[in-house]
Structure 1
Amino acid sequence: MKTPTLSDETPPEESIRKRAMAASGWIAIRRPAMMIVQLGRNIVLTRLLFPEAFGLMALVAVVMQGMQMLTDVGINASVIRSERTDQAFMRTAWTLQVLRGLLLTALCAIFAEPLAYAIAGPAKAQQLAGLLPLASFVLAIGGFRSANHIASNRDLKIGRLTIIHTFTAIASLVITVGLAAAGMGVLALVWGNLANAVIGVGIEFLLLKGVTHRFELEGAAVREQMGLGTWIFLSTMLTFGANQIDSVMLGRLVSLEMIGFYSIAFVLSTQPKELAFRFATSVLFPAISEKARKSGGDFRGAFHKSRAVLLGASSFIVVGVAIFGPLFFELLYDPRYEPSGWMSRWLCIPVWAMILFGTKDRALITLGAGRYLAASNAVRLVGSALGVYLGHKFAGLPGLIVGLSIGSFLGTGVVTLGLVKAGLTDLRNDFVFSGWTLVASIVGILAIEGVNQIPTLSNAAHIGLSIALGAVVLAVHGYTLVLALGAMPHVRKVLGRFGLARVAGALPGRS
């Protein structure tokens, strides 16, 4: 009798290309929906909570992410990369995931005080330590996530995952706002996170089918899933340090109030990065992995095509944040959070650096060059630490933010070196889109700051003229991106496959 596998559920005629396009469409829906929910949540909660609550929760998030990343041995990446899709293999992955979640919660509760001291310093350690035991239950709950979410990502079946994540976010938003309105303070954020985890796990088990869940540890599956463990463990450990060095240093350098402003600004500014990373991990990496598994699969071509469109979309959003970030906070947020406006603009620099890095690094795993991934994250960590320290020393918080980008730019160089050695590079996309992003951001910022220097304008006129000028710059930038993408023959093919042949034919550079 044939052992059922998850791949049996994928029709043989369904191509990688069609599934990748369908997944891209779902993510194009999901990311804006999640962004609206997340930003709406913050707009409401900033009227109910003081900045210190967001600052304290930002430090809790650092600990939670650190615990997760420092114990990442590459289970998900191994499942996506593997040719095995049988029940025993997937149940082993789920069992390891559950054990890891339970272990993390236990460690976080036991070592709450030293963890709090390490992250927040002596002045804030007591407040943070009091929250960690409760907050850490999100790790145990998350460990029980259905193994079918990994399979869905692997097979580029993102539709139900999009529905699940969007519904979960809305439900937890309602719960969090209700608790905050009831006067629970920072605990409203903690319980909201727990509600999000419980609802998400429950709905995944209801809607995602495939794996029959029970505890199982098959020896061969364990060895394969832990096979990438050494390099991925080193890489994720270094990634955590590079990604969170700003939060760790902020915990010791500034007040909880300033950390709160920073965390709110970070949510807006990192939306383009989240979009890029979501496409990279949910579409780009699984697609090129499947291409690589198939003999003669042109995963290099898939990489170039997908990344060009991804960088173009990210560039448009980054420029939008750089131009309109301060105005967004001025119009929609409680006046107490005005400092988040200028922070959001400065954060666009490290965010773009992270996008360049994060849309390349996963390709190293597909190519079996995990050592370069670890090396790139080591460079990121050292570069970010030095940049953050020196930036804050000489230029305060703006310097810290700009210094954060140094590590990502250096890390991108190491990733590029690894890809070149493996016969894959994408420098043209790096330079083209970075150049246009820089120019458009500078022009847009100068236009709006010029309006600010006109003393005779009323507040309404100032806002209206700023929006109009910013919109013109952003529209021109968007058109420029379309022209740049249109000059790339492989992008024409992508447009044609989406049924946009007329658009592709209207672009310049047609051969």
Structure 2
Amino acid sequence: MSLKRRVLSAGIWSLAGFGAVQVIRFGSNLIMTRLLAPEMFGLMAISTVVMIGLALFSDLGLRTNIIRSSRGEDPAFLNTAWIIQIFRGLLLWVAACGVAASIAIVGHLGTSLGQGIYADPRLPEILVVLSFTSVILGFSTTKYFEASRRLSLGRITLIEIVSQIMGILFIFAWLSLDRSIWALVAGAICASLVSTILGHLYLPGVRNRWTWDPAAFREIFHFGKWLFLSSILGFLAMNGDRLMLGGMTNATFLGVYSIAFGIVAAIEQVLVRIVASVAFPAISEIAREHPSKVGDTYYRMHILIAAIAYFCSGTLVVSGQALIGVLYDARYAGAGWILEVLAAGLVVIPLQLANYTFLALGKPWMNSTISAVRTALLFVGMPAGFYIFGVEGAIWGLVMSQLLSAPLIIMFAVQTRLFAARREIMVLPMLAVGFAAGKLFVELVRYWRP
């Protein structure tokens, strides 16, 4: 199958599948917010952020390595990556238990994690149990990476949907017996287990065996060391908001924030999914075989991603409060203004495509530099905003850190001959279309719910 047809097929599967997962997740979230208190979502948000952080702090970019490497279909290379992944999963669990123990000890000594969410006595035990998902996922097959390399996403998408459904069904089964946060934890473990088992049984590709290739390890480590640094900085840039808000506020506010964040993150994840699962493998293949065509391929992908991002940003900036009022009860009303502020940051999502293109071109240091700048802006902007304007200033500090990092990405895009101002500007009208759509939604809500 030609690259164009594979890209089209992968794009359809990625959008349809990931969209289905988000709809399922969003629908179940609406129900769970009526069954569980906001503070439970806050605890789960912090626990998840800690797990993501530990995962990214040990990331050697196995998926990226397999997609871009000329040895990406070599069984020895794949099995070496699998062994690395298993040991990494075990180490993540040990590290998470260590973090949980540290939080518990500090809380017991009363030295002060303040009145923030970190003082909640339930947090350490939630971390210990939830982190076991890293052990389960460590045994996931590298067939996932092979399928991504070939832009064959059909079966991956089906597995994701089934795993999501099974996890949610498990949550509701637990809630029928016990309405506690442990339902959310158990659902996450169930989804991880289903995904791991189905990957080995259902996906085609190299069956993983206990094989070690020193040359493969050296290649993975050589390229991965830059991704390791980029992942650490990227984690701080992408998740530092909840880490800092956990100390600035309480579990209830963080739970409300997580509702608004979840809506924006769902849009971001759909677009980044297209970039990571469709655009990156395609551009990597073009970079290996036809380097002069990378720019054209880049902007064919860019126009779709930018159009969606600008439209969604414009819509939510205007209609965030009205949307929250329709979807959630009065306990979550505060998520409305937060959603409108966070939505402004969606305008920089198209630049994620440039970040992945830098990787395809073999320039991971650019990603590390971008992540470092954005992290610095975040960890200065949010505390400064909170100190001057309170929690609203902290949220605006987050958004400004995203917007102010854009010029650096554009500079690198110019250096790599990716940037074309005319092609960038032609998509901007979608922002105005989004404003109009958001205004229309607000008027409709006022008409039906005066």
Matched, 1:144 2:139: yes
Aligned to 1:160: 155
Aligned to 1:362: 356
Secondary structure of the corresponding residue to residue 390 of structure 2? helix
Letter in 1 for 2:294: F
CA shift at 1:37, angstroms?
Answer: 0.8
Aligned to 1:51: 38
CA shift at 1:166, angstroms?
Answer: 0.9
Secondary structure of the corresponding residue to residue 244 of structure 2? helix
Aligned to 1:105: 93
Superposed CA offset, 1:469-489 (max 9, x none): xxxxxxxxxxxxxxxxxxxxx
Once residues 334 and 230 of structure 1 are traced to their aligned partners in structure 2, the CA distance between those partners, rounded to angstroms, is 46
CA 1:16–1:386 in structure 2 vs 1: closer, same or farther (change >3 Å)? same
Once residues 88 and 430 of structure 1 are traced to their aligned partners in structure 2, the CA distance between those partners, rounded to angstroms, is 42
Aligned to 2:406: 412
Once residues 213 and 385 of structure 1 are traced to their aligned partners in structure 2, the CA distance between those partners, rounded to angstroms, is 41
Letter in 1 for 2:370: S
CA shift at 1:376, angstroms?
Answer: 0.6
Superposed CA offset, 1:80-123 (max 9, x none): 110111111111111111111111011111331336769x9344
Letter in 2 for 1:410: L
Q: How many residues align?
A: 441
Once residues 192 and 133 of structure 1 are traced to their aligned partners in structure 2, the CA distance between those partners, rounded to angstroms, is 15
Once the two structures are superposed, the pairs formed by residues 300-379 of structure 1 within 5 Å of their partners are 300-353=295-348, 355-379=349-373
Once residues 415 and 462 of structure 1 are traced to their aligned partners in structure 2, the CA distance between those partners, rounded to angstroms, is 40
Matched, 1:388 2:382: yes
Structure 2 gaps, min length 5: none
Once residues 292 and 445 of structure 2 are traced to their aligned partners in structure 1, the CA distance between those partners, rounded to angstroms, is 56
Once the two structures are superposed, the pairs formed by residues 35-434 of structure 1 within 5 Å of their partners are 35-84=22-71, 85-114=73-102, 121-123=113-115, 124-125=118-119, 126-296=121-291, 298-353=293-348, 355-434=349-428
Once residues 144 and 42 of structure 1 are traced to their aligned partners in structure 2, the CA distance between those partners, rounded to angstroms, is 28
CA 1:83–1:172 in structure 2 vs 1: closer, same or farther (change >3 Å)? same
Letter in 2 for 1:147: T
Superposed CA offset, 1:150-208 (max 9, x none): 11111100111111111111111111122123224111111111011001111111110
Superposed CA offset, 1:225-275 (max 9, x none): 112122111111111111112101110111100000011111112222111
Q: Decide which moves more: 385-394 or 272-281.
A: 385-394
Once residues 83 and 25 of structure 1 are traced to their aligned partners in structure 2, the CA distance between those partners, rounded to angstroms, is 26
Once residues 115 and 76 of structure 1 are traced to their aligned partners in structure 2, the CA distance between those partners, rounded to angstroms, is 32
Letter in 2 for 1:160: R
CA 1:429–1:87 in structure 2 vs 1: closer, same or farther (change >3 Å)? same
Letter in 1 for 2:157: T
Secondary structure of the corresponding residue to residue 354 of structure 2? coil
Q: Do the aligned partners of 1:75 and 1:226 also contact (CA within 8 Å) in 2?
A: no
CA shift at 1:350, angstroms?
Answer: 2.2
Once residues 322 and 183 of structure 2 are traced to their aligned partners in structure 1, the CA distance between those partners, rounded to angstroms, is 28
Once residues 121 and 263 of structure 1 are traced to their aligned partners in structure 2, the CA distance between those partners, rounded to angstroms, is 21
Once the two structures are superposed, the pairs formed by residues 481-500 of structure 1 within 5 Å of their partners are none
Aligned to 1:496: none
The two structures have a TM-score, normalised by structure 1, of 0.81
CA 1:48–1:417 in structure 2 vs 1: closer, same or farther (change >3 Å)? same
Once residues 392 and 447 of structure 1 are traced to their aligned partners in structure 2, the CA distance between those partners, rounded to angstroms, is 33
Q: Do the aligned partners of 1:319 and 1:441 also contact (CA within 8 Å) in 2?
A: yes
Letter in 2 for 1:312: A
Once residues 404 and 323 of structure 2 are traced to their aligned partners in structure 1, the CA distance between those partners, rounded to angstroms, is 31
CA shift at 1:422, angstroms?
Answer: 2.1
Secondary structure of the corresponding residue to residue 102 of structure 2? helix
Greater RCO structure (CA 8 Å; 6+ sep): 2
Q: Do the aligned partners of 2:236 and 2:375 also contact (CA within 8 Å) in 1?
A: yes
Residue identity over aligned pairs, in percent, reads 29
Q: Do the aligned partners of 1:268 and 1:321 also contact (CA within 8 Å) in 2?
A: no
Q: Do the aligned partners of 1:142 and 1:201 also contact (CA within 8 Å) in 2?
A: yes
Structure 1 gaps, min length 5: 1-13, 452-459, 467-511
CA 1:40–1:164 in structure 2 vs 1: closer, same or farther (change >3 Å)? same
Q: Do the aligned partners of 1:98 and 1:140 also contact (CA within 8 Å) in 2?
A: yes
The two structures have a TM-score, normalised by structure 2, of 0.92
Aligned to 1:484: none
Aligned to 2:9: 22
CA 1:154–1:331 in structure 2 vs 1: closer, same or farther (change >3 Å)? same
Once residues 127 and 90 of structure 2 are traced to their aligned partners in structure 1, the CA distance between those partners, rounded to angstroms, is 15
Q: Do the aligned partners of 2:315 and 2:436 also contact (CA within 8 Å) in 1?
A: no
Q: Do the aligned partners of 1:369 and 1:418 also contact (CA within 8 Å) in 2?
A: no
Superposed CA offset, 1:203-223 (max 9, x none): 111110211111222011111
CA 1:217–1:148 in structure 2 vs 1: closer, same or farther (change >3 Å)? same
Once residues 52 and 294 of structure 2 are traced to their aligned partners in structure 1, the CA distance between those partners, rounded to angstroms, is 31
Once residues 324 and 291 of structure 2 are traced to their aligned partners in structure 1, the CA distance between those partners, rounded to angstroms, is 50
CA shift at 1:385, angstroms?
Answer: 1.6
Q: Decide which moves more: 288-297 or 245-254.
A: 288-297
Once residues 346 and 418 of structure 2 are traced to their aligned partners in structure 1, the CA distance between those partners, rounded to angstroms, is 24
Once residues 115 and 284 of structure 1 are traced to their aligned partners in structure 2, the CA distance between those partners, rounded to angstroms, is 40
Question: Which entry has the higher C-alpha Rg, 1 or 2?
Answer: 1
Once residues 421 and 86 of structure 2 are traced to their aligned partners in structure 1, the CA distance between those partners, rounded to angstroms, is 40
Q: CA RMSD in A?
A: 2.3
